[in-house]
């Protein structure tokens, strides 16, 4: 049975893994960054914890690569959508946003 405390720990671990993934991406170790992103996703699935929206936007929807703008992906705004083509597999990830 998944208790609330387990979810809290999972959330912390996911945040930590995404921090580490960012550090790895900055030091040009994209393979390690991808591994961290995969682990974070798996932990999320195991404990039914959703990734934060800013974390979700950092992972390619198709190949699960960790996307770091200016290193392996671009970020453009088009027709009310945030468009980020994956630098690894070429998939175009789109996310809607609301202007305020
Ligand atoms: Zn991809």
User: What pLDDT does residue 94 have?
Assistant: 95
pLDDT of the residue at 99:
76
Cα of 89 to ligand 1 centre, how many Å? 4
Q: What is the whole-number distance in angstroms between the Cα of residue 64 and the centre of ligand 1?
A: 6
- In angstroms, the CA 14 to CA 11 distance is 5
Reported as a pLDDT band with limits 50, 70 and 90, residue 98 is confident
Q: What is the pLDDT of residues 10-68, one digit of tens each?
A: 999 999 999 999 999 999 999 999 999 999 999 999 999 999 999 999 999 999 999 99
**What are the residues whose beta carbons fall under 8 Å from the beta carbon of 34, sequence distance 6 or more?**
21, 64, 65, 66
Strands 81-85 and 92-96: antiparallel
pLDDT at 1: 79
What is the domain range of residue 72? 4-96
Q: For the chain, how many structural domains are there in total?
A: 1
């Amino acid at each position: 049975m998944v208790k609330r405390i387990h979810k809290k720990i999972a959330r912390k671990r996911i945040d930590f893994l995404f921090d580490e993934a960012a550090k790895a991406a900055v030091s040009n170790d994209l393979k390690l960054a991808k591994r961290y992103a995969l682990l974070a996703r798996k932990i999320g699935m195991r404990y039914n914890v959703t990734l934060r929206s800013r974390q979700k936007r950092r992972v390619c929807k198709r190949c699960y690569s960790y996307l770091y703008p200016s290193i392996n992906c671009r970020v453009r705004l088009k027709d009310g959508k945030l468009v980020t083509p994956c630098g690894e597999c070429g998939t175009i990830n789109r996310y809607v946003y609301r202007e305020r």
